[in-house]
Amino acid sequence: MLFALTVFSLAAQLQDPAPGIAAPLAQRRAATISSVRYDLAFRIEAPVKHADCEATLRFALDEAGAKEPLVVDFDGEVRARAQVNGAAWEAVRVADHFVVPPHLLRNGENELRFSVRSPAAPAGTPLTVYRDAADGAEYCYTLVVPADAHRLYPCFDQPDLKATFDVSLRIPKDWSAIGNGVASSAEDGEAQRRWTFSTTKPLPTYLMAFACGPFAKIESPLPAIPGIEQGSTLRTWFRESERKNLDEPTLLRMHGEGLQWLCGYFGEPYPFDKLDIVLLPGFPYGGMEHAGAIFYREKALSFDHEPTAGELARRSALVYHELSHQWFGNLVTMRWFDDLWLKEGFATFVAHEAMAVLEPEKKAWLRFLQRVKPRAYEVDATPGTVPVFQELANLADAKSAYGPIVYNKAPAVLRELDDRLGSATFRDGVHRFLAKHRFGNASWRDLADALQQAAKSDLSRWSERWLLSPSLPRVRVAWERGADGSVVSARVLQEAVDGQGTWPLRVELLVVGSGGAMRPLRVECDGAETKVDELIGAKDVACIVPNPRDVAYAQFLPDATSSAWMLAHAAGIEDALLRAVLFGCLFEAVREAEVDPAAFAESALDAIARERDADTHAWMLDMFGTCVMRYLPEERAVELRERAEETLLGQLGEAKSGRELPILRWLSRNGKGAGAMRLCRAVALGVAEDTPPHVVAGKEDRFAALAALLARTDTEADQEALVENVRAAFAGQDVERETFLARAAIGTEANKQRCFDSYLRLDAPPEQWAQDSLGNFHWPGQAPLTKPFLARALEKAQWVKANRRIFFMPAWLDAFVNAHADADALAIVDAAIANDGLDQDVKKKLLQSRDGLARAVRIRERFGSAR
């Protein structure tokens, strides 16, 4: 009965397929189709409104596949009759597909030809057009991950039907083109040029890409890299106007050394024939790892100011992340997007391994603690969290898999596994996995098998808890002293934050004496309570620090005795990583309403006054800012904030330290005093005599300072004068994005309404501008003005999910929900969650965002009044 039902539903899905690509359809095609080759000839004319494509699909069908309808995915415009194995065929779309009848198909080789058109726009289309406001030039690029390839050309849009691609582009003759293969070009009539790319290695549809436009290029020789021909070059493509900001030698060094190191780490040569990198304006992600042609957001790689330590670390992590993908994702691809974590988790983990070796001064694991893990903890401790491995019924929902669980938690649990197995064993397993599935597909089970073989140990319990179960353990050390002061009882307690069970966890403890002496301990615990016998009888224990090397992934909370010691001593800890562990642990206790945010802020301010590591300084400022701007009522925050402003303005007067721009950014957004405002005015308007000597702001920071002024300027005439004044300083440059962002901070109802309306339009502005301006829309202190938009934003969440790219919807929810800290806003969010019609995925993401707001409300209830 079950069998008959399955067959019936599959037949129905083949005859009348639902929108998107349902998992059973993908599985059926993977079983019946093989040897897929795409020949894609695109034609693009300026001004760009669409791309035309002559697409030829060649593939083999097995006997069963040739006897049933064949579903080809496409969601675009058909321009002419199609051909199936040489016979003309009227291709009619059924949802996002064509259904080819079996009588036209044959067992063995088949060929389909289509003539199609796909629209191009600044947002919402698989081919994006960016129009440079300064010179009117157009730059186009494809971005089809996870499920938009079939909006560009007919295909089998699923990752496990890998295909070779032969791509050509006819484009205006003064343009260049970049694709996955090696390019050659020839004139094609008066106004056009035809670019042809060599046949690719087998790729999933989401990795085929091209970019074209009047790009400038720098070509530099790469060092010897296994897999790439000797004498090969790295080609860097960019807008000519960015040339002055481009640090090409550094980009070359990072990509060259990165590839060399990764070849060694993975034990596999570089899998593709060449590497181009393209810097794209308005690119909605930091980077996208297209095989052999990595696309980057221009602003993630090049800076118009001396970059901060944080920006440089983020750039390195991004470059090594995209390079790692050439193996993890591109050489071996997940079978289905339920295993998205496999490529993202590895790319981020390996990126930090690479950074730790290649650029030790960047302190990769300290950055991992500060910038990667907190986002995972924020989401994983909410009822909206999901397992690392996420079931996916239809590729149309693949967007929902993206988020901090795959990008932040997955690398953190991999790091723990690397430490648990030992790096050499872990790498051996990774190598076995890559070698076995080279140019093919694999799932987490294949990885677990390979690691088990290498480790000669059973990882099923580990996989079950860390990959397949949601949430994380909350870990505390409970210990007591007897009358003589020595420890009489000590236990590690583990409880599920949200969910059930316990996790296999190796907990390290650092036992600190009153004089500062430190002793490490290790406890294996996979139960609610584990005794720590080594601690019994210990004398002179002042503090127990859990997870001092930050290797384990769990919410570690300090006991009351230890947190008191940490608050008093954390700022003075010499070791940078341990100092950060202490502040991270304390901040978790603040988020749990167990430590007064004022006490934390006091301790943090002490650290900020002394901190020399510029990125740690910026991280501390973030946490301090959350306490004084969000967790504490104004009457308890004001004195702390005033002292911070004084400290920070003082630091701007000291010798150059790299802390200048983070301080400026913090003061622009959070400063209220006269000194901070004077600084913003000086930076925005370029008043040299009021600008501290080491504050050299680029375009973005000057407009951020302008935003601070606009938020405090009342009349429209004055606002416009300020905007014009700053724009005049950038005459001839493209500052439309920065102007758009700055204006979002203007504190009038009419302005907020204007911004909000623009967020819901697809024609303009570029999607990334909208996303980037959400923070300014919610300028500090404007909560009463923006609160009416909260319910409206939640009502539009489904539209946002359907029409915007992967990261937009969570950013949207987070911005609108977490701009507030009161019970009123929480009630609005809860009403939206209670709505039965809410999409389940939106609901999960909303539950994630709600958590931050609920914590703020709880903390303010507990610590709102002076004590």
Stretch that binds Zn ion, among 244-252, 264-272, 347-355, 581-589 (CB under 5 A): 347-355
Stretch that binds Zn ion, among 273-281, 341-349, 376-384, 451-459 (CB under 5 A): 341-349
Asked whether the beta carbons of 142 and 130 are under 8 A apart, the reply is no
Stretch that binds Zn ion, among 309-317, 336-344, 354-362, 803-811 (CB under 5 A): 336-344
Rounded Cα gap, residues 438 and 40, in angstroms: 25
- Cβ 349 to Zn ion shortest distance, Å: 11
Instruction: Report the residue number, 280 or 628, with the smaller CB distance to Zn ion.
Output: 280
Instruction: Report the residue number, 51 or 291, with the smaller CB distance to Zn ion.
Output: 291
Beta strands of 716-836 (E only): which ranges?
A: none
- The neighbouring-strand residues paired with 237 are 217, 278
- Cβ 382 to Zn ion shortest distance, Å: 23
# of chain residues touching Zn ion (CB under 5 A): 2
Stretch that binds Zn ion, among 76-84, 96-104, 346-354, 783-791 (CB under 5 A): 346-354
Instruction: Report the residue number, 84 or 340, with the smaller CB distance to Zn ion.
Output: 340
Instruction: Report the residue number, 286 or 671, with the smaller CB distance to Zn ion.
Output: 286
- The neighbouring-strand residues paired with 195 are 169, 185
Interface pattern 258-287 for Zn ion (x via CB under 5 A): ------------------------------
- Cβ 588 to Zn ion shortest distance, Å: 27
Stretch that binds Zn ion, among 10-18, 169-177, 345-353, 807-815 (CB under 5 A): 345-353
Site for Zn ion in 349-388 (CB under 5 A): none
Instruction: Tell whether residue 347 is a contact of Zn ion (CB under 5 A).
Output: yes
Instruction: Report the residue number, 351 or 774, with the smaller CB distance to Zn ion.
Output: 351
Distances (CA, A) of 249 to 218, 220, 223, 257, 263: 10, 9, 13, 12, 21
Instruction: Report the residue number, 344 or 418, with the smaller CB distance to Zn ion.
Output: 344
Site for Zn ion in 223-262 (CB under 5 A): none
Q: How far is CA 74 from the centre of its chain?
A: 28
Distances (CA, A) of 151 to 16, 50, 79, 124: 19, 12, 14, 11
Instruction: Report the residue number, 291 or 347, with the smaller CB distance to Zn ion.
Output: 347
- Cβ 759 to Zn ion shortest distance, Å: 26
Q: In 653-766, which ranges are continuous DSSP H helix?
A: 660-670, 674-685, 699-711, 716-728, 736-743, 749-759
- Cβ 289 to Zn ion shortest distance, Å: 6
138, 268, 311, 322: which one is catalytic?
A: 322
CB atoms within 10 A of CB 866: 9
- Cβ 810 to Zn ion shortest distance, Å: 16
Asked whether the beta carbons of 199 and 166 are under 8 A apart, the reply is yes
Instruction: Tell whether residue 294 is a contact of Zn ion (CB under 5 A).
Output: no
Asked whether the beta carbons of 212 and 184 are under 8 A apart, the reply is no
Kindly state the tokens that stand for 115: 């003539």
Site for Zn ion in 490-509 (CB under 5 A): none
Rounded Cα gap, residues 583 and 563, in angstroms: 10
Rounded Cα gap, residues 121 and 48, in angstroms: 8
Question: Collapsing DSSP states into helix, strand and coil, what is residue 193?
Answer: strand
Residue nearest to Zn ion (CB): 347
Stretch that binds Zn ion, among 62-70, 342-350, 549-557, 831-839 (CB under 5 A): 342-350
Kindly state the tokens that stand for 827: 């009630």
- Cβ 40 to Zn ion shortest distance, Å: 24
Site for Zn ion in 112-141 (CB under 5 A): none
Question: Collapsing DSSP states into helix, strand and coil, what is residue 180?
Answer: coil
- Cβ 328 to Zn ion shortest distance, Å: 9
CB atoms within 10 A of CB 147: 25
720 among known catalytic residues: no
- 690-719 b/e (C-beta count within 10 Å ≥ 16 → b): ebbebbebbbbbbbbbbbbbbbebeeeeeb
Instruction: Tell whether residue 318 is a contact of Zn ion (CB under 5 A).
Output: no
Instruction: Report the residue number, 347 or 627, with the smaller CB distance to Zn ion.
Output: 347
Show which residues are catalytic.
322
Which residues lie near Zn ion (CB under 5 A)? 344, 347
